[in-house]
Amino acid sequence: MLLLATLAAGLSWYLSPKKGQNLQKAILPHPGPDDNKHFNITGRVIKYGSNHEGDIDKLLLSSNEGEIWLHFPPHMARQVTSVATINAQVKALANESRPRPGEHRNDSYTITSLTNNAFQTKVDLHDIPAPIPKKGIEIKMKGKPSVNQNENAFMLAGKMVTLPPHMARALFPLINQAKTITVKGFVRDSTDGFLSESGMPIVRPTLVEIDSVTYKIR
């Protein structure tokens, strides 16, 4: 009897779960967000979009899944738009990333490469180096401005003058009333690859003179 009891106890211990055995099986790896998932997206280019400084940095594609914004760094705009002209059918290889603040899920794609289906021209964004930081060409302009209240910029002498948002809010009421203003600043080198949505050269001002009062732009 003692032997049978000992064998039964041993069998019961052998069949019972060991410490941590069930716990280990119950814990499964939690899948994290896949920020590097690639997608092939085909569609027609409807229009371009820009950042708050007016630089083209995305294009709107009409695809079978609906309208999708595809983003790219603004210094790549010249190469991207030369392949993805308006109304062109293109194929994009894009990464899905987390939506930025204020964006929807269909805004969260960044182009890796882009191909024009008709001409088979292609641009690989990994091959485009970032431009060397530089001020640009110094310039001084004078004339009557034209202000767009929905942007942080105004037109002067055939160029687009961009202001920091806080300076735009402070100066636009004065610029609207001024007959003539003077702007000193730097016009961006057109060879850097940037394109403004307006098609005008972009000026980064260092000072704006309104009715003989000078405002430094920082």
Give the residue-averaged pLDDT of 71-93. 95
Tens of pLDDT, residue by residue over 194-214, are 888 878 888 999 999 998 899
pTM recorded for the entire structure: 0.64
Spatial CA neighbour of 188 closest among 39, 55, 57: 55
Tens of pLDDT, residue by residue over 2-34, are 444 444 545 454 444 444 443 233 323 333 344
Q: 105: which DSSP letter?
A: G
Using pLDDT thresholds of 50, 70 and 90, give the confidence band for residue 192.
confident
Question: What dotted CATH number matches 137-216?
Answer: 2.40.50.140
Tens of pLDDT, residue by residue over 143-171, are 999 876 567 889 999 998 989 888 998 99
Using pLDDT thresholds of 50, 70 and 90, give the confidence band for residue 216.
very high
- Measured in degrees and rounded to the nearest 5, phi and psi for residue 116 equal -80, 120
Fold of 38-127: OB fold (Dihydrolipoamide Acetyltransferase, E2P) (2.40.50)
- Where in the chain are the domains? 38-127, 137-216
Residue predicted with more confidence, 125 or 12:
125
For residue 61, give both structure tokens: 């594609």
Equal CATH topology for 38-127 and 137-216: yes
Of the ranges 14-18, 119-123, 141-145, 178-182, which one carries the lowest mean pLDDT score?
14-18
Enumerate residues 6+ apart whose C-beta is below 8 A from 26: none
Would you list the DSSP string of 127-193?
A: GSPPPPP---EEEEEEE--EE-TTSSEEEETTEEEE--HHHHHHHHHHHHH-S-EEEEEEEPPGGGS
| Contact predicate 27/34, CB 8 Å | no
* Predicted pLDDT at 81: 95
Average pLDDT, the chain: 80
Tens of pLDDT, residue by residue over 30-74, are 333 444 578 899 999 999 998 877 889 999 999 988 999 999 999
